[in-house]
Structure 1
Amino acid sequence: MKCDWCQAEGAQETSTTVYWELPDGTRAIEITETPGVSCPACGMEYQTDSVINELEDHLMIIDTKKLNKSTSYKELLKQPKLLKKNYFNFQE
């Protein structure tokens, strides 16, 4: 796999902890076991655009007031949706 940052081969899929600001800006939460990429060449750990979009879209359509300070990625995606989709994502 090629690193998006340094373009070196050898980047690997990994699972990381990220900290995400909620869409309403009231607080940030810890999201554990988030799919990501780790590059041994440059040391960068990051999430792909698809994971970022999935997180952002899901946080827009759930009741974030019910979220704990920390949750796993899988548990976050299991949260009941208030809307069918993120109607604020105009890139679709």
Structure 2
Amino acid sequence: MAENTVKLCEWCEENTAHAHQSSVYWELPDGSRAVQIANVPGLSCSHCGMEYQEESIINEIEDQLMLIDTRLIDKVISYKELMALPRLLKKNYFRF
């Protein structure tokens, strides 16, 4: 998404959401701990103030966490580093 592209906000439904990167906290699939993922692509709405990730990004993160050796992740990892980690399986067979 281009930095200056304006989108419809999923929360307030105003055409005021812009590309934004933020840190998010995610519980690992095994429930053992949570990690901080930095510089995650998302949207920020200038009308309602909501910052969020689109469903496609959420699915990418969840799939990657299911398919990698999570012991390789420290307490903080960047989105790009997370997505570059080698997968143990080619895809998430639990996503239909």
Structure 1 length-normalised TM: 0.96
1:14 to 16, 20, 24: 20
Alpha-carbon displacement from aligned partner over 1:17-69 (angstroms, at most 9, x marks no partner): 00000000000000000001000110100000000000000100000011110
1:15 maps to amino acid: Q
Paired residues for 1:46-85 under 5 Å? 46-85=52-91
Structure 1 residue aligned with 2:44: 38
Count of residues in Structure 1 that have an aligned counterpart in Structure 2: 90
1:83 maps to amino acid: L
Aligned-residue identity in percent: 57
Give, in whole Å, the separation in 2 of the partners of 1:40 and 1:58. Answer: 30
Partner SS, residue 25 of structure 2: strand
Q: Which structure 1 segments of 5+ residues have no match?
A: none
Structure 2 residue aligned with 1:25: 31
Provide the alpha-carbon RMSD of the alignment: 0.6
The list of structure 1 runs, each at least 4 consecutive aligned residues, that deviate by more than 2 angstroms after superposition, is none
Give, in whole Å, the separation in 2 of the partners of 1:7 and 1:89. Answer: 28
Structure 2 length-normalised TM: 0.92
